[in-house]
Structure formats: C-alpha cells, structure tokens
C-alpha cells in the first residue's frame, strides 16, 4: 500500500484518539526514522521518551529474537529467569526491595494506588485511603489514573470520576501540609512534571514533601514513568533531590519500546501484596523482561546516563541561546534530555515546520515545545535542530 492508502485506511479503521501528521514511519536506526517516501527525520520525540537507546538497538534486538526462539510467555503462575533477573537489577540499582511488573505506565500507577490503600487496610486503618496528587500532573488514562491526574481536559466526559483523590499545586509544600489529613494514605507526584509542562521543582520542595510524609506516616509515591531510566541525567529522577520515595512507578523507557511497566517498593509495603492481592497475565513476561534487562545493561555499560547529562547541558545552553535571539520564546526549562521551550504563542505550527525540515519534536500544553530525543543523541544532531529552530522561530 502507498502511504496515502495507509493514511486513508488508518483514518477509517483506527480509533481517532490521535491527530497525526500525514507521514507513515517504516524504519528506524539510532536517532533517525524513515517514512514510506524515503524521507528521514531526526527523532526528538523517542516515541514519547521511550526509545532512550534509539531505534533498533542491535544488542536489544538480538536478545529479543533469541528469547523469541526460546520462550515468549508462561504467565506469572511460574518462575522465569528474565523476570527474576530484571527485578534483581532494579532492586540493586534503586531504593526498592520488590518489583511488581505490568504492561504500561497507567497499570504501574494502578498498582501503586492499590498497594498504598491495601497497606493501610492491612494495618486496620481502613479509612486511610485518600491520595493527594498534584495539579497539572499526568498519571495515565485508565479510570483510576485519570482520576489521579490534575488536568480537567483528561477527565472531561468520563464521569463518575473515582473518589479519593485530592489536589494541591505542585511545588507548594504549604498547600500539601494543609491538605494532608487522617484519611490520606499517600502523596503521588512526578518529581519533575512531564506532560504538565516540563516543570522542575525547587529541590527544597521535594525534601519538604518527604518530611511531611515522614511526620504523618504517609506513603510517598513517585511516578517516574517519564523521568526514570536515565532521562534526566540520573538513572532515576529522585536522585537529583537526595531523597527516596516509598513507592516508584516506571514504564516508558524501561523497555525502550517494549510494553512494560513496573511498581517498585520497600519490603514492609510490598507485604501488602500477598498471593491473590493483585495480578496480571502478561506482566513481566519473558520476552519483554529479557529485552528490558538488556536495555538497562546497555544503558549502564555504555555510560549513556552520563552522556545524557552532558548532552542535556549542551542542549539547554543552545535553547537559552535561542531564547536570547527570539522574543517569542518565553522560557526554557527541564533537565537532562527532558527539555521544554515555552512560547508566547501556540506551538503546533512549529512542530509542522520542524517536520518539514526533517525533525520530529512535539508540543505539550499548546505552547511548550518538548525535546525528548534518544539519550544517545550527539552534539551534531542537536546543532542541526537548533539551526532549524533558529530559522523557523
Ligand atoms: C506516559 C505517562 C504515564 C502513562 O503511561 P502509559 O504507558 O501511557 O499508560 C503516566 N505517568 C507519566 C508521568 C507519564 O509520562
């Protein structure tokens, strides 16, 4: 089929939940994508902060195909090697003692919400079930996770929204202190907000949130679905703040494009998830966990997190240079390779203009251009995008 036919068919048979540009992507290698017309694009989206190692990474592809020849799936009724090895890796490299695997970010947050409530219910504190989340947060599109999301546009039309979620402004510890009460079981937040506009909080803020949770015995849940796995220049975003959460969720880059989510927590909390308490058919299946483990090995063995930090600093400087040259740029924000440029106008036309010049970027909250390239991006590729932005701004 020609790309025109693909687009026409897709527009008929696929749920129209996304507005897409008229290109059909057929191949990727590293930071480059090809469409059906033979055009190439440098990818500053990474499938929404997913393909941290770029596309078609040879080591990951090799492991997946070897695992495909050996064992795809047996369910969680049995022990498997890749799942055990991946959980061990995550436990070894984080604050956590145990991991629950699932298939997406929303499911990881569902598990976090459930375990926080179950933890207090097991202790006999049944009324302690409310969760405080942040305004402008994003936690997913399932009923519980959209109920936990602090953006009205995501909830609109889906009433009744689930009970039990309260909201306070992000980066406002006093507001949290006022809201937290006897019925609060957990505080849920992204240490650096992603979809809400790439917002990095004051370092003091998260330390104060940790203190408030400690004083009140409330669980602290970090949604690191976007900030985890090296994206911010540290393996996990919380490492920037010298504190640790009680529960953390991962997904996006964990599988570099393989569908996987994970909920990580400490032993005493993990006890609340005994046999039968929570379950999933696919979660942590061998083919996916084998791939994800290789992703993490490449990330650490090839010092990609350090590279991300270096490229992130370089890129941010360039964006600040663009701000100094173009009045239309209001603000440059973010850390590592989770960067945003807030414009004084709608950003959609800039996304299209970049695409025409061979760069994929995306726009969030209508006026923030977001740059989330593969972490293996090099200075030359950043320079080319900056030249393109300089022309179109
Ligand atoms: C993407 C994202 C999610 C949702 O993940 P899905 O895999 O789309 O369900 C949740 N939280 C954050 C912070 C995200 O960036």
**Sequential pLDDT tens for the chain (393 residues):** 678 999 999 999 999 999 999 999 999 999 999 999 999 999 999 999 999 999 999 999 999 999 999 999 999 999 999 999 999 999 999 999 999 999 999 999 999 999 999 999 999 999 999 999 999 999 999 999 999 999 999 999 999 999 999 999 999 999 999 999 999 999 999 999 999 999 999 989 999 999 999 999 999 999 999 999 999 999 999 999 999 999 999 999 999 999 999 999 999 999 999 999 999 999 999 999 999 999 999 999 999 999 999 999 999 999 999 999 999 999 999 999 999 999 999 999 999 999 999 999 999 999 999 999 999 999 999 999 999 999 999
Residues 217, 346, single domain; the answer is: no
> Among residues 153, 136, 85, 139, which one has the least CA distance to residue 107?
139
CB atoms within 10 A of CB 346: 10
Q: Atom of ligand 1 at shortest distance to CA of 224?
A: 13
Please choose from 48, 143, 154, 251 the residue to mutate so as to test ligand 1's pocket, defined by most ligand atoms within 8 A of CB: 251
Tell me, what's the pLDDT at 2?
Answer: 79
Residue with tokens 């995008």: 385
In a domain, 49, yes or no: yes
Residue 61 in domain: no
Q: Is 13 domain-assigned?
A: yes
Locate all alpha helices (DSSP H) within the chain, ordered by sequence.
Answer: 3-13, 46-49, 58-68, 81-93, 105-122, 143-147, 152-155, 173-179, 203-216, 267-270, 286-301, 304-325, 348-356, 379-392
Q: How far is the CA of 330 from the centre of ligand 1 (A)?
A: 27
Mutate to test the pocket of ligand 1, among 105, 260, 365 (most ligand atoms within 8 A of CB): 105
Please identify, by atom number, the ligand 1 atom nearest to the C-alpha of residue 226.
Answer: 15
Q: State whether 272 and 351 are in the same domain.
A: no
Phi-psi region of 182 (alpha: psi -120 to 50; beta: other; left: phi over 0): alpha
Q: Which domain holds residue 357?
A: 3-56+304-392
Residues 79 and 182 in one domain: yes
Buried b / exposed e along 1-17 (16+ C-beta atoms within 10 A)? eeeeeebeeeeeeeeee
- What's the number of domains the chain is made of? 2
Domain boundary among 239, 269, 301: 301
Clarify whether residues 254 and 116 are in a common domain: yes
Q: Does the beta carbon of 195 lie inside 6 Å of ligand 1?
A: yes
Report DSSP state, residue 234. S
Structure confidence at residue 1 (pLDDT)? 66
234 and 209, same structural domain? yes
Is the C-beta atom of 229 inside 6 A of ligand 1? no
Q: Note whether 204 and 134 are same-domain residues.
A: yes
In this structure, is the dihedral angle defined by the CA atoms of residues 254, 256, 260 and 261, taken in order, positive or negative?
A: positive
- Ligand 1 mutation target, pool 140, 150, 151, most atoms within 8 A of CB: 140
Contacts of 318 (CB under 8 A, 6+ apart): 382, 383, 386
- Verify whether ligand 1 is closer than 6 Å to residue 194 (CB atom): yes
Residue 181 has a pLDDT of 96
Atom 6 in ligand 1: residue holding the nearest Cα: 105
Write down the pLDDT at residue 203. Answer: 87
CATH at 34: 3.90.1150.10
318 domain-assigned: yes
- Return the DSSP state at 123: T
- What pLDDT sits at residue 154? 97
Structure tokens at 199: 């917002």
From the CB of 249, is ligand 1 less than 6 Å away? no
d(CA 364, CA 306): 27
Q: Is 294 in the pocket of ligand 1 (CB under 6 A)?
A: no
- Please identify, among 301, 317, 336, the residue that sits at the C-terminal boundary of a domain: 301
CA 124–ligand 1 middle distance (angstroms)? 31
Choose one of 301, 332, 366: the last residue of a domain.
301
Please work out whether the CB of residue 139 comes within 6 Å of at least one atom of ligand 1.
yes
Same-domain pairing of 46 and 149: no
CATH number of the structural domain spanning residue 227: 3.40.640.10
For residues 79 and 38, membership in a common domain is answered with: no
Closest residue (by CA) to atom 11 of ligand 1? 139
Q: Which residues are identified as catalytic? A: 138, 223, 252
Is the shortest distance between the CB of 237 and ligand 1 below 6 Å? no
């Amino acid at each position: 089929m020609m790309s025109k036919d693909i687009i026409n068919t897709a527009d008929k048979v696929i749920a129209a939940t996304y507005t897409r540009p008229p290109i059909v992507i057929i191949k990727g290698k590293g930071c480059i994508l090809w469409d059906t017309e033979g055009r190439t694009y440098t990818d500053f989206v990474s499938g929404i902060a997913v393909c941290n190692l770029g596309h078609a990474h040879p080591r990951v592809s090799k492991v997946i195909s070897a695992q495909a020849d050996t064992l795809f799936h047996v369910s969680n009724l049995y022990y498997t090697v890749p799942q055990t090895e991946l959980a061990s890796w995550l436990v070894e490299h984080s604050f956590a003692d145990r991991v629950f695997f699932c298939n997406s970010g929303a499911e990881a947050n569902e598990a976090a919400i459930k375990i926080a409530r179950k933890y207090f219910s097991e202790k006999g504190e049944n009324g302690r079930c409310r969760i405080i989340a942040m305004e402008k947060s994003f936690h997913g599109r399932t009923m519980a996770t959209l109920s936990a999301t602090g953006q009205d546009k995501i909830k609109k039309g889906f009433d009744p929204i689930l009970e039990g979620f309260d909201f306070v402004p992000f980066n406002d510890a006093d507001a949290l202190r006022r809201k937290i009460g006897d019925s609060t079981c957990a505080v849920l937040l992204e240490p650096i907000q992603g979809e809400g506009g790439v917002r990095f909080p004051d370092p003091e803020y998260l330390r104060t949130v940790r203190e408030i949770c400690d004083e009140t015995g409330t669980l602290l849940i970090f949604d690191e679905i976007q900030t985890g796995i090296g994206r911010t220049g540290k393996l996990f975003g919380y490492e920037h703040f010298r504190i640790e959460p009680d529960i953390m969720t991962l997904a996006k880059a964990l599988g570099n494009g393989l569908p996987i989510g994970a909920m990580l927590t400490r032993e005493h909390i993990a006890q609340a998830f005994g046999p039968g308490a929570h379950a999933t058919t696919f979660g942590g299946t061998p083919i996916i966990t084998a791939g994800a483990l290789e992703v993490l090995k490449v990330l650490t063995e090839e010092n990609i997190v350090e590279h991300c930090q270096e490229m992130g600093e370089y890129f941010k400087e360039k964006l600040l240079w663009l701000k100094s040259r173009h009045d239309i740029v209001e603000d440059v924000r973010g850390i590592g390779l989770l960067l945003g440029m807030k414009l004084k106008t709608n950003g959609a036309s800039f996304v299209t203009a970049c695409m025409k010049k061979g760069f994929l970027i995306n726009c969030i909250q209508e006026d923030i251009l977001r740059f989330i390239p593969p972490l293996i991006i090099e200075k030359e590729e950043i320079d080319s995008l900056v030249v393109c932005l300089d022309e179109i701004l």
